[in-house]
């Protein structure tokens, strides 16, 4: 019984660290079976260092709407790199400029984004409002890099969709100031959620990848994004 934890911080964090690592090893193995490159980093800092190496100097880099990319500090790092960053979050950017950036993003060299959920089997589950983010995941950019906190790892596709609708969407609607049923109650009410407010318009589940090294999932042993 020598391994029983007593320190409060240890009691909270140690089992999480252990289970994050164990889950990550399982998910990385299953992503690779689907021809999706994958690795696990314990911290955002390590993840950012790995992602930097994946982006060639001079490349055009698009951003999928992602709180994880902002929260982790990856966006700040991208802004310092010798790349052409299609920076949709630039201060003072106009709606027309964002629109143009979203169009350019579909044919960028690299798309940097997150995934709404990653299943134990290695499937990537996403919903999108405009479709530009999931479009780029499927086709266009030569490389797509997903930075995913372990809070987004789920057992099944159904759990992933539920997570997106009942955890991520309410928070995103509040962040974006959009009045939807999930923003009002915290739970999705699909039947009474209508355009144009609705942020869930397309569901994309990536089950495999044909082009070698096109998709890379970087799992991070922290809670990131929604």
Q: Which residues contact ligand SF4 (rule: CB under 6 A)?
A: 165, 169, 173, 180-182, 188-190, 193, 198-200
Question: Smallest gap, in angstroms, from Cβ of residue 199 to ligand SF4?
Answer: 5
Closer residue to ligand SF4, CB minimum distance, 70 or 178? 178
Closer residue to ligand SF4, CB minimum distance, 33 or 175? 175
C-alpha 37/C-alpha 215 separation (Å) is 6
Closer residue to ligand SF4, CB minimum distance, 160 or 221? 160
Question: Smallest gap, in angstroms, from Cβ of residue 196 to ligand SF4?
Answer: 11
- Which residues partner with 143 through β-bridges? 110
- Which residues partner with 87 through β-bridges? none
CB environment 15-30: b (16+ within 10 A), e (fewer)? eeeeebeebbeebbeb
Closer residue to ligand SF4, CB minimum distance, 158 or 189? 189
Question: Smallest gap, in angstroms, from Cβ of residue 101 to ligand SF4?
Answer: 23
C-alpha 25/C-alpha 120 separation (Å) is 10
Closer residue to ligand SF4, CB minimum distance, 62 or 200? 200
Q: Give the length of the chain.
A: 226
Q: Which helix (H) or strand (E) holds 177?
A: none
CB atoms near residue 85 (< 10 Å): 22
CB atoms near residue 124 (< 10 Å): 28
Q: Are 71 and 225 in contact (CB under 8 A)?
A: yes
Question: Smallest gap, in angstroms, from Cβ of residue 161 to ligand SF4?
Answer: 10
Question: Smallest gap, in angstroms, from Cβ of residue 168 to ligand SF4?
Answer: 8
């Amino acid at each position: 019984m020598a391994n029983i934890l007593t320190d409060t911080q240890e009691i909270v964090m140690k089992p999480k660290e252990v289970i994050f690592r164990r889950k990550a090893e399982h998910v990385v193995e299953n992503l690779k079976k689907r021809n999706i490159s994958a690795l696990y980093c314990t911290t955002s800092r390590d993840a950012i260092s790995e992602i930097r190496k994946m982006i060639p100097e001079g490349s055009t880099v698009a951003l999928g709407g992602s709180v994880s990319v902002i929260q982790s500090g990856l966006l700040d790092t991208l802004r310092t790199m010798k790349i052409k960053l299609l920076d949709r979050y630039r201060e003072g950017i106009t709606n027309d400029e964002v629109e143009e950036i979203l169009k350019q993003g579909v044919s960028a060299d690299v798309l940097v984004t997150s995934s709404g959920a990653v299943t134990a089997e290695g499937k990537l589950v996403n919903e999108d409002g405009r479709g530009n983010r999931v479009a780029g995941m499927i086709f266009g950019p030569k490389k797509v890099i997903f930075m995913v906190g372990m809070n987004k790892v789920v057992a099944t596709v159904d759990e992933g969709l539920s997570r997106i609708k009942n955890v991520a969407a309410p928070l995103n609607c509040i962040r974006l100031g959009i009045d939807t049923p999930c923003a009002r109650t915290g739970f999705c009410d699909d039947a009474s959620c209508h355009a144009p407010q609705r942020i869930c318009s397309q569901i994309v589940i990536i089950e495999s990848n044909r082009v070698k090294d096109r998709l890379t999932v970087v799992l991070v042993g922290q809670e990131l994004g929604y």
